[in-house]
Amino acid sequence: MPSHNSVPVMKPAAPGPKRGSRKLLGLVMVFFITLFLILFFQSSISKISEIRIEGNELVPADEITLTSGVVAGDNFFTLRTGQVHDRVKQHPFIEAVEVSKSFPGVLKVKVREYRRVAFQLAADGTKEVLLADGSALPVAGQAANVPLDMPILSGWLPDNPLKVKLCAALAQVPSQYLSDISEIRPDPSSAYEDKIKLYTRSMYEVYTTIEYLPGNMEYLGFVTSELGERGKTSGVITMLEQIRHSSFEAEKAGQKESAGNSGPASNSPVQSSRQGNGT
């Protein structure tokens, strides 16, 4: 009986998705993504909600915020920190600025003010704090909380360029070396145009120059300590080319004998030169 070979019948392939359907699906996805982005950028989560000011002691936070040009509600993502940095850096009392953003909605502005180095009395008698660059800030508002633990500058004309130079020199002196200085006055001479006179809380008067000031302040404590061990708890200390000490009486007598001398009369050498250690 003859055998018959049978060929299985192949089912027709299911029709694939039409090209038009894929295109429609893509358009729907783009629509929802666009809608999501619009809603996101219009929501509060994409806006500046807090501006943090750090490091300020003299300049009020509100003033720094105003200088930055940023307000709550500005777009978080389009805000350029570089522009904020440049605006705040233009403030006359701010030396350095760091600006950063943290999601969601926080702008952080960290400032470093010019170091405060001294005080002075304004023409109306109010106190002003002097910064390292010579700028003067009234002791009012937030600055009123700054401790008055720095020298007072007296007898300086407002336009005296040496006052700016003095402020820069004081900024080079560590704060602990200035704690004993109560007042600084100009005392120019023919030999030393930038000569100054310092009054200390430990009852000494000190003559030096603005140029020598940063180096001499490190030695002044050693000098006064040595003088105290000798029983000389007051008097005049000359810190020019040499460091010498004289009593107030000898100083007055020397001034009468030699008017116009470049430095006060001295009769007790403390050290032979400025390069010594004062002990």
Give the DSSP H or E segment for 184: strand 181-186
Amino acid 256 reads K
Tell me, rounded to whole angstroms, the distance of Cα 101 from its chain centroid: 22
Q: Which two tokens stand for residue 255?
A: 């001034």
Looking at residue 162, its pLDDT comes to 97
In the block, tokens 């003559």 appear at: 207
Euclidean distance between CA atoms 173 and 120, whole angstroms: 18
What's residue 200's pLDDT? Answer: 95
For residue 243 the two structure tokens come to 């460091």
pLDDT block averages, 10 residues each, the chain of length 279:
59 60 76 67 78 93 95 91 96 94 93 93 88 88 72 93 96 92 96 96 95 93 90 92 86 61 52 42
For residue 38, what are its two tokens? 């619009």
pLDDT of residue 138: 86
Q: Supply the pTM of this predicted model.
A: 0.70
pLDDT (0 to 100) of residue 269:
62
Cβ within 8 Å of residue 45, ≥6 positions away: 104, 105
